[in-house]
Amino acid sequence: MPSVASPASRASTSQTTTSPAPSRPACTVALPCGTSICPLPTSAGITVGGELPVGIGHALGENLTSLMLNDIYFTGTIPTSLSQLRNLQSLALDGNYLTGTIPAELGDLTGLRTLRLGYNMFSAGNLPASFKGLTKLKTFSAANCNLTSDFPGYVTEMLELEVLDLSLNYLTGSIPPGIWNLTKLRLLAKYANNLTGEVVVDGDFGAVNLVMIDLSSNHMLSGPIPEAFGHLPKLETLNLYYNNFSGEIPASIGRSPSLVKLGLFSNRLNGTLPPDFGKSSSGLIYVEVDGNEITGAIPEGLCANGKFQTLTAKNNHLNGSIPAGLAGCATLMVLHLDNNTIGRDT
C-alpha cells in the first residue's frame, strides 16, 4: 500500500515554505518508456535540478505510459505540454521544487491511474476543475500543494480511487458525504487542512475497504464520530485528533477487528472508553485520547492481544484503578494517566 506521511513524521505541520533547492551537479535521467526503462531522448534536455523543458510532452512521444520524476529537485513550472502524453497512465512529480500553479491541462490525461503532485512549492491555488475527468485514477496525491478553496467535490466521482491524499493544504468547507461511497478506497488522508462541520455519512457506508482514515489537525471538524467507522473490517488507523469532535466514542470502535492505532486526543469527547477495547482487536497497539472529557474506568482488556504498547489518556476524568491486565502488560511502553482521578476516592 502506498505510504502517506503522518503529521508527526514531518518536522512541522505549520505548512511553512520550503527553503530553496541546493545546487546539484547536472546529470541525465532515464525515464520509463512503456513497461521498460529507456534512455531519455537527448532532445528532451532534462537535467537533475533544472527546469522541466517546455516541450517535454512533445519530445517524449505519445507511447509513454509512465513518467516518474519525483524527488529529483526539479524547479520551475509544470509544462502544459505534458497533456500531449495521451497514453500516460502514471505521472509522479512529487517531492520537487516546482512552482506556479497546477495546470488545468493535466486534466486532459484521462487515462491516468496514478497522479502524484505533492510536496512542491506551488503558489496558492485550486485543484483544476478539469480534474473532474480523471475518473480512472486509483492513486491521487496532492499533499502540501498550497491548495485553497473548498474540498473538491468531484473526487466523489472518481470511483476507482484507492488512495486519496490531500493533506497539509488549506482546503476549507465540509467533507462531501459521497467520499464514503467510494468502494475501492483504502487510504484517506486529509489531515492539516481547514475543514469544518460534521462528518456526515449519508445512507449506506460503501467504503468498506478503508485501512486508514486521517482527518486530524483540521481543528474545526465537529459533531459525533460516525458509528460506521467502527464497522470497517480492515481499518487499522483512525486519526481524528486536534479537532472539535464531541459525544461518546462509538462502542463499535472498541470492537473494531483490525484496529492498530486510534488517535482521538484534543477533542471534546465525553462518556466512557468502550469497554470492549482490545478484546476484538488482535493488533491493537496505540490508544491516544488525551485532552477530552472522558469519564469512567480504563477497559480491562486493552492488552488482551499481548501486543498493546501505548495508552495516553491524561487530562480527562477517568477514575477507578489501573486494571490488572494493563498493569501486567509485558508489551506496555507508554502509560500517561496524569490529571485524572485514577486511584482516588470519587
User: Cα separation of 101 and 339, whole Å?
Assistant: 47
Whole-number pLDDT of residue 49: 72
Question: Are 328 and 301 within 8 A, CB to CB?
Answer: no
Burial label, 3 (beta-carbon count in 10 A; 0-12, 13-18, 19+): exposed
- The partner residues of 248 in beta bridges, in order of sequence, read 270
Q: Give the mean model confidence (pLDDT) for residues 66-91.
A: 96
Diameter of the chain measured on Cα atoms: 79
- Taking only the tens place, the pLDDT of each residue in 111-169 is 999 999 999 999 999 999 999 999 999 999 999 999 998 999 999 999 999 999 999 99
What residue type is 247 in one-letter code?
G
Instruction: Spell 228-250 as b/e; 16+ CB within 10 A means b.
Output: bbbbbeebbbbbbbbbebbeebb
Q: Is 76 left (phi over 0), alpha (psi -120 to 50) or beta?
A: left
User: Cα separation of 161 and 211, whole Å?
Assistant: 13
The C-alpha angle with vertex 322 and arms to 317 and 327, in degrees rounded to 5, equals 145
Long-range contacts formed by 122-130: CB under 8 A, 24+ apart: 122/98, 122/146, 123/99, 124/148, 124/170, 125/101, 126/152, 127/102, 127/152, 128/102, 128/103, 128/104, 129/104, 129/154, 130/104, 130/105, 130/106
Distances 53 to 58, 221, 255 between C-alpha atoms, Å: 10, 42, 54
Q: What is the pTM of this model?
A: 0.87
Q: Centre a 10 Å sphere on the Cβ of residue 307 and count the other Cβ atoms it contains.
A: 15
pLDDT at position 99 over 80 = yes
Fold of the CATH domain 67-336: 3.80.10
pLDDT tier at 38, thresholds 50, 70, 90: very low
- Taking only the tens place, the pLDDT of each residue in 254-280 is 999 999 999 999 999 999 999 999 999
- Where are the chain's structural domains? 67-336
At residue 62, the 3 state secondary structure works out as: coil
The DSSP annotation for 119-144 comes to: SS-PPSB---GGGGG-TT-SEEE-TT
Q: Give the mean model confidence (pLDDT) for residues 13-20.
A: 37
pLDDT tier at 83, thresholds 50, 70, 90: very high
